[in-house]
Each structure stands twice: as structure tokens, then as C-alpha cells.
Chain A
């Protein structure tokens, strides 16, 4: 049984109706997408800014109502978006560690909320649990009575992780958890996350724009482009053997020591306009392989090789 299974999950943000005339079609931030995350797996989600990563994440934790589709956690379907129902099963670690902590609450108050509200624990039980969690994220207990501004980014992110753990979730959504951190601190947090995963048997959905990071932490990777899944594959192969031209472009663009600089081959440079999406394949404007078929029919996600899927009419060969 997969830890998380989504089917046809989609989000369309409605647009304001103009004074005269009908409402324009909404912005399709996430197009219907389906995938699953196995228990104990880390699934990486990569994509450029605006491709729908955070919208997806917010739907998964119940902060945002999906327009269509279903979310299933450990076989149990979750109904309408209600964070307090989702909270016990799935938690969220935010990109900006500072702004995810209320500046006017002590860390203890922050940590107690999920224990009290989600699990209805009594005071002594709460204290024990907080001590436990703090030990596991390697934070000192004296931090509990301080306020968020007294912490560095790395420490604040540990607190964010501790708060997520306090709900005892099965799955944690990590939304760019290290991109606001310094490189030398980044590694500390990534290692901590890996450690916690084995210790508590967690399942991760790791969202990032950094290919090297996602490759280093995940088992499988989902590549998003313009609100849709364009490729899914094993982390150790997907960038070395991309099937979708966009994945190929991403892999070539990443700066790598020892590789010479050459602007990767592509025609257009602009992303498609979300208010006025092109028909057919969203990548066609930038794709060197695009044909008329691509510009008229949207490619579907198809199995390519044993554990790779890509949505492309003319996939790259191995």
C-alpha cells in the first residue's frame, strides 16, 4: 500500500469576472496529475518557479482545496481540505524557516500546539514528547523558552522540522526546506532529515528547484513543467537518461564543475503564459523536437522503460 496516492489532482485558480462578459477560464496551476509515494520513500519534485510545486504541496496537506481529484494516505481517502484532519497524517516543512514561526510565540508554545490540538495530550506527556523530539533534531531544550528571532536560519528550520514531527505524521512534505539556508548549513539539515526518516519510518515528498540536492536525497523524482508532470523516474537515472526533452534541458543547464559552458540548445526562452496557455504540449515553444502534433495534442504520461514515465510524443532515446 503506498503511503500517499494522488489521482487526477488538479487546481484551477478562478479569475475575476470582468465587468462585462463571462468569467475567463481560470489559471490551471496544477493540471490533473497522478502519482504515488511508497512508504519509506523520498519522492523528489523538481521544477522551475511557477510550475505549481507549492500549490501541489498545499493541496496535499489540506491547506488548499483541490479543484478535482483525490488524495489517499495509507489507503484512506481524505475528504475536503481540513488541515486538522490532514495534520495527523501529513505535515509540512516550509521554505522560509523564520516566517513559519510566529514571532510572538515561544518555541515551546509553537511545539505544544500540535500535541494539544491534534493529539489532546496532557501537560506532562507533552513535555516528555517535546524533550524527545528536541533530542532527535539535536536542539537544546533551553531553546524552548526563546522567541524565533533569536535563532539562525538553520536552527529555525530544525524547529520547523521538530514541529512537523510533533504531530507524529506518516508523511512530511518538505517544500524547499534548505533553499533559504547557507550551503554549509544545508548539508547539516539534509543529513538530519535523512536520519529522522530512518529513525521514524517517515515518507518524504521533497520539493526543490535544485537538481543536485534532489538527486542526492530522493529515490524517485517527478519533474513538473507548467503545472503538469512531464517525467517520473528513478533518481539515479532520470538526469543521466532523461526521456523528456525538458528534463534533458534541466540536466544540461545545471552548472557542473568540469563541464564547459554552453547555452543548451533550445529555441524560445519564454515560459508559456499561464493566462493564455498554448494548446498541445506546453513545452513545444522551447522544444527543438516540436512538430505540429506537439502543438495540437497534449502528450500523455506513458511508460518508457521499466520504471520511467514521460509525457512526450517524441521522447529522447537512451
Chain B
């Protein structure tokens, strides 16, 4: 198993390379002079030239890529002009907040999604199935940002149960319970779509598996129905659910951008949007590469879990 993890880690290296290349290529799509684009059209020529030199933009592209890559490997993601601090510091701080939010949502969507899917499949065409299918349909159709806004209106403005936005209360906040109170709405709004997707997939995976011959064998052996569904069938269904959880993690991270805006959550997503609007491209570059790299590592964890689940995968 150690060998498998090592193998997957090694095979991630080219993927990480690829990510940096893709980001670099996209960034070099910027029309015109990048320094002017960054500094805006009112920049003085000296400033532009200085920035060009600072960024190494006067060098050929391939060389520029490797300089950028080398800097990143030493933890130097450059300096944000709009925030006036090193990009890596800002990214790390923001990433922490994003992880709290999307991690919670991911756990929620995995648990509730699979549970709903299994119940739905086990009670196919029954009341529970219909109710779940209906809720799921709404969940995957409503834009998360709109859902978030409506939740604020209802729970924060009208009912005053929860704080409107932010991560901690401005005065006297900062402890765990404060964080949780702030977290409830954004985490639920963010989890809604992913839960729906996971539930749908789990349902169809379970239905698929329940028709397979080994389920009949288990029943023919007199295995109790509860065990048949929660043990035999779910175990095999997980083989196809797990990769989808990996993909959903990406969707949760993505959806976090909207939710962070709606709930003023100080995460990476908001940072990126602000940076794009401010044309602070170093922040965009650094943030994208950092989060993508983390996501790659997460997917390796998913693969390892898959390997543990399915002995047919050769280590």
C-alpha cells in the first residue's frame, strides 16, 4: 500500500507540472503588454519598465516559465500590488477559511448524499424515494448564490437566528461556537448542489448494483435484507460513488467562490474575484496554482481510498 501511495504521488508530479503550464499559458493570453495590463493604462513608463523587469517579463517565455516555477517551488509566489503583501501569505490565510467552509460542506454532502441515495434506492418508487427525488431536483437546480441570499433573508434578516455574513462576529467573536454559527448557512448553501448530485448518483449506483447476481446470491444464502443493502450492495456501489465524491470536492471548492461572495466569507474565492477585478494577476496565478495543487493531492487520497475499497485494483 505504501508503494501504491508512492506511485500515485510520483505520477502526480507531471500533473502538477501540467497545471503550472496551463496556468502560465492562460496568463500569457493576456493581450498587449502585461505590465500595462497589471498596472492599468495610467501607469508611468518607468513603473511599467520596473515591473517588467521585476516580473522578468523582458525574457523569453520558456525562461520566464522556469523562473516563475523555480520561485514558486521556494515558496515565493510574488508580491501582490493591490494588497501590498506576499501572495503566499494572503493565499495561505485565505485558504484556511476556504477549507473550513468547503471541508464542512464536503462532509455534509458526502454523508447526506449517500444516505439519501441509499434510502431512495432501497425504497424505490416509495414515498421516501419520491420525496428525496423532489428535494434533490430542487437542490441541483437552484443557483447556490441565490439559495444563499434567500437563506440570509429568511434566517438572518427575518428570523434573526443566525448572523448575516462573515466568519466571526466583529465584536466579541472568535471562539468556536461563533464560527459554527457563522458557518451553518454558507456550508448548507454550498452543500446543497453537491448533495443533490451525490444522492442522484448513489441512487442509480445502488439500483445498478442491487440488480447484480451477487445480491441474489446473498439473498439466496439467507443474508438479512438490511445487510444485503447496507453491506453487500453499498460496498460495491461505493466503488462508483467514490470517484464522484472526488469530483464533487472540486465542485464544492468551485461553488465556494459564490458562497464566499454572498456571505462575505474571507476565503480564496473572494480573493480571486477581487484580484481579477483589480487585475492583480500574480494573486490569481498563485491562488489558482496553490488550490489546484491541493486538489490534486486530495484526489490522490481518493484514489488510495478507492484502492483500499476495491482489491481488484492492482497496487
Contact = CB atoms under 8 A, between A and B. Distances in A.
Touching chains A and B, CB distance < 8 Å: yes
A256 interface: no
3 contacts: A19-B7, A19-B10, A19-B11
A19 to B, nearest CB: 6
Interface string B1-41: 00000010011000000000000000000000000000000
The 3 A-B pairs with the shortest beta carbon distances in the complex, nearest first, are A19-B7, A19-B10, A19-B11
| A contact patch SS | loop
Interface string A3-31: 00000000000000001000000000000
Interface residues of A, number: 1
Contacts of A19: 7, 10-11
A109 B10 CA distance: 50
A262 B7 CA distance: 50
Interface residues of B, number: 3
Interface of A: 19
A91 to B, nearest CB: 36
B314 to A, nearest CB: 10
B178 to A, nearest CB: 49
Nearest to B7: A19
Contacts of B11: 19
Contacts of B10: 19
A273 to B, nearest CB: 15
Interface in B130-189: none
A159 to B, nearest CB: 30
B251 to A, nearest CB: 31
Contacts of B7: 19
Interface in B102-123: none
A15 to B, nearest CB: 12
A19 B7 CA distance: 8
A19 B11 CA distance: 9
A285 to B, nearest CB: 24
Nearest to A18: B7
Nearest to A19: B7
A19 B6 CA distance: 11
B152 to A, nearest CB: 51
Nearest to B6: A19
B57 to A, nearest CB: 38
Nearest to B10: A19
A27 to B, nearest CB: 15
B7 to A, nearest CB: 6
A272 B7 CA distance: 30
Nearest to B3: A19
A303 to B, nearest CB: 44
A19 B10 CA distance: 9
B305 to A, nearest CB: 21
A255 B127 CA distance: 53
A101 B70 CA distance: 56
A205 to B, nearest CB: 34
A81 B11 CA distance: 35
Interface string B243-280: 00000000000000000000000000000000000000
A19 B3 CA distance: 11
B180 to A, nearest CB: 45
B313 to A, nearest CB: 14
A188 B7 CA distance: 55
A71 B205 CA distance: 47
A165 to B, nearest CB: 38
A19 B4 CA distance: 11
B34 to A, nearest CB: 39
B252 to A, nearest CB: 32
Nearest to B11: A19
